[in-house]
């Protein structure tokens, strides 16, 4: 080869700078956008127009942004679910199943019913949160226990449990609780709905109509209309969960143990840590977060248990956690990006475009890991010649 330089990969010896992981993540997203643009151009599209459209469909107005956040909400929780497991190098790819079981367990509150539908919202929703998290936790417990006790590979078990969870749900909604033969249960009573922004439209709509300081302010930021906005309380669950996870990871004894076991299980054993218990616990927490996502989705968006409540949130959560480098706050940002991709996928034709972008992002993120492990240097070929 006669290149004027050669590329060498030198294994990093020094600690990587703190900003580098974030930089590679952001860099890979940007590169993914550029690559998608090039592909679009090659097949005769107009990348810039698509980009503009993409922006308008996702962040262009409060209404579309609200849609984006609604899609991001389950992704935040599922992303956190994956992050906590990955911290301990437990490859939980069963968030999808845990999501479904969480939704199932939460709906038991209304479908059995466990409390009267006339109970106050706090009671119904509170109970549904507990049930949803419990359901997900149980679904995480099985693979966790099998892994801890018998070294059964968690990748296989969590994957398989996804199918079981979906079929389990199907059985109940087809066979037991079907609403007039449809593949869904009857709609929940209002007491089991998470509060949505639009629900306050009448109250505050009139308020804004009436004029005054607040009304002026709302109008000035383009928020004169809030009716139709589907943003629901679930996003708060996600944000609170992120803060709690950050606390656990960075401040708590347990977070220290999770990282310790993840880094070197043998030394953890020598230090007297209970690895078995920690594996089960982490899988349960992971499952509980995914279950909470399922609960939030049925109470905040669909208001019933039905087929296909998730377009693969559990799997997207894996990408979200990875791209966020397992940092809880980064999970929020990445989840919003992927929420936007889902929304855009509905708006842009062909809809596969957004999946293409997702795929390229994932590809870039994984390959950018090389930069974290190696220093890439250009060595001038001349130097080598001179020296020889």
Partner 1 sequence: MSNDNLLPSGLPRIESLEMRGIVKKFPGVLANDHVDFDVKAGEIHALLGENGAGKSTLMKILYGLYHPEEGGIYLNGRPITINSPTDSLNHGIGMIHQHFMLVDNLTVAENVALGLKSSREPRLDLDVVSARVRELADKYGLRVDPDTVISKMAVGERQRVEIVKALYRGAALLVLDEPTAVLTPQEVDDLFVIFRQMAADGHALIFISHKLDEIFALTDRVTVLRDGRVTGAVLTSETNKNKLANMMVGREVSLTRERPSVTPGKARLKLENVSAVNEDGQPVLININLVVRSGEIVGVAGVSGNGQRPLAEAIAGLQRVGNGRVLMDDQDVTNLAPAQMFDAGLAYIPEERMHDGVIKDFSVAENFILQDHVRPPFAKGIFLNFKQIAAHAQELINAFSIKTPSRETLVKNLSGGNIQKLILARELARQPRVIIAAQPTRGVDIGATEYIHAQLLKQRSAGLATLLISEDLDEVKALSDRIVVLFGGEIMGELSHEEATPEKLGLLMAGEREIEKMIYTFDKGR
Ligand X SMILES: Nc1ncnc2c1ncn2[C@@H]1O[C@H](COP(=O)(O)OP(=O)(O)OP(=O)(O)O)[C@@H](O)[C@H]1O
Residues near ligand X, by CB under 6 A: 13-14
> How many residues can be counted in the chain?
388
Q: What is d(CA 65, CA 229) in angstroms, rounded to the nearest whole number?
A: 9
**CA 271-274-276 angle, 5° bins:** 135
Applying CB under 8 A, does 266 fall inside the site for partner 1?
yes
For 314-325, the DSSP string reads: HHHHHHHHHHTT
Q: What is d(CA 56, CA 204) in angstroms, rounded to the nearest whole number?
A: 26
Contact 79, 324 (CB under 8 A): yes
Nearer residue to partner 1 within complex by CB, 123 or 271:
271
Applying CB under 8 A, does 382 fall inside the site for partner 1?
no
Q: What is d(CA 207, CA 216) in angstroms, rounded to the nearest whole number?
A: 11
Neighbours of 387 (CB within 10 A): 6
Strands 374-380 and 5-11: antiparallel
Applying CB under 8 A, does 388 fall inside the site for partner 1?
yes
Nearest distance, CB of residue 21 and partner 1, angstroms: 14
Applying CB under 8 A, does 23 fall inside the site for partner 1?
no
**Residue 257 interaction partner, one of partner 1, ligand X, none, beta carbon < 5-8 Å per kind:** partner 1
Nearest distance, CB of residue 98 and partner 1, angstroms: 24
Among 246, 274, 333, 347, binds partner 1 (CB under 8 A): 274
Nearest distance, CB of residue 14 and ligand X, angstroms: 5
Q: What is d(CA 334, CA 362) in angstroms, rounded to the nearest whole number?
A: 12
Q: Which stretch binds partner 1 (CB under 8 A): 126-134, 175-183, 268-276, 299-307?
A: 268-276
Nearer residue to partner 1 within complex by CB, 153 or 382:
382
Nearer residue to partner 1 within complex by CB, 6 or 116:
6
Applying CB under 8 A, does 259 fall inside the site for partner 1?
yes
Written as six digits, the tokens of 231 are 């943003």
Q: Binders of partner 1: how many residues, by CB under 8 A?
A: 30
Cis omega before residue 113 (within 30°)? yes
Nearer residue to partner 1 within complex by CB, 4 or 272:
272
Nearest distance, CB of residue 309 and ligand X, angstroms: 49
Among 1, 3, 7, 13, binds partner 1 (CB under 8 A): 13
Rg of the chain, C-alpha, whole Å: 24
Instruction: Please report the sign of the dihedral spanned by the C-alpha atoms of residue 156, residue 162, residue 165, residue 171.
Output: negative
CA 303 from centre of chain: 20
**Residue 123 interaction partner, one of partner 1, ligand X, none, beta carbon < 5-8 Å per kind:** none
Q: Which stretch binds partner 1 (CB under 8 A): 130-138, 199-207, 358-366, 378-386?
A: 378-386
Neighbours of 266 (CB within 10 A): 9
Applying CB under 8 A, does 384 fall inside the site for partner 1?
yes
Q: Which residues bind partner 1 (CB under 8 A)?
A: 8, 10-11, 13-15, 251-254, 256-257, 259-260, 263-264, 266-274, 379, 383-384, 387-388
């Amino acid at each position: 080869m006669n290149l004027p330089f050669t590329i060498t990969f030198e294994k990093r010896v020094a600690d990587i700078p703190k900003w580098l992981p974030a930089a590679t993540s952001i860099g890979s997203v940007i590169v993914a956008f550029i690559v998608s643009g090039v592909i679009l151009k090659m097949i005769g599209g107009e990348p810039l127009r698509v980009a503009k459209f993409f922006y308008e469909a996702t962040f262009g107005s409060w209404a579309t942004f609200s849609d984006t956040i609604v899609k991001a909400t389950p992704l935040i929780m599922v992303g956190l679910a994956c992050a906590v497991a990955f911290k301990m190098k437990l490859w939980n790819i069963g968030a999808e199943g845990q999501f479904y079981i969480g939704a199932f367990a939460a709906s038991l509150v209304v479908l059995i019913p466990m409390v009267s539908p006339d109970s106050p919202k706090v009671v119904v929703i509170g109970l549904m949160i507990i049930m949803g998290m419990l359901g997900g936790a149980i679904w995480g417990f099985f693979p966790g226990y099998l892994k801890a006790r018998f070294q059964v590979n968690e990748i296989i078990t969590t994957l398989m449990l996804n199918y079981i969870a979906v079929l389990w749900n199907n059985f109940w909604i087809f066979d037991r609780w079907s609403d007039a033969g449809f593949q869904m249960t009857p709609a929940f009573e209002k007491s089991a709905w998470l509060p949505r922004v639009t629900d306050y439209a009448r109250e505050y709509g009139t308020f804004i109509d009436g004029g005054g300081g607040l009304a002026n302010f709302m109008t000035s930021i383009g928020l004169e209309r809030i009716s139709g906005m589907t943003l629901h309380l679930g996003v708060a669950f996600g944000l609170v969960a992120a803060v709690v996870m950050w606390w656990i990871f960075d401040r708590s004894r347990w977070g220290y143990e999770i990282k310790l076991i993840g880094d070197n299980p043998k030394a953890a054993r020598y230090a007297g840590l209970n690895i078995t218990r920690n594996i089960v616990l982490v899988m349960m927490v992971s499952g509980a977060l995914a279950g909470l996502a399922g609960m939030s989705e049925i109470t905040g968006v669909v208001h019933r248990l039905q087929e296909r409540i998730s377009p693969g949130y559990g799997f997207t959560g894996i990408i979200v956690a990875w791209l966020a480098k397992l940092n809880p706050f980064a999970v929020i940002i990445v989840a919003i990006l992927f929420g936007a991709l889902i929304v855009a996928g509905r708006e842009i034709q062909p809809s596969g475009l957004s999946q293409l972008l997702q795929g390229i992002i994932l590809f870039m993120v994984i390959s950018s890991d090389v930069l974290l492990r190696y220093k890439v240097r250009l060595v001038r070929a001349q130097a080598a010649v001179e020296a020889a």
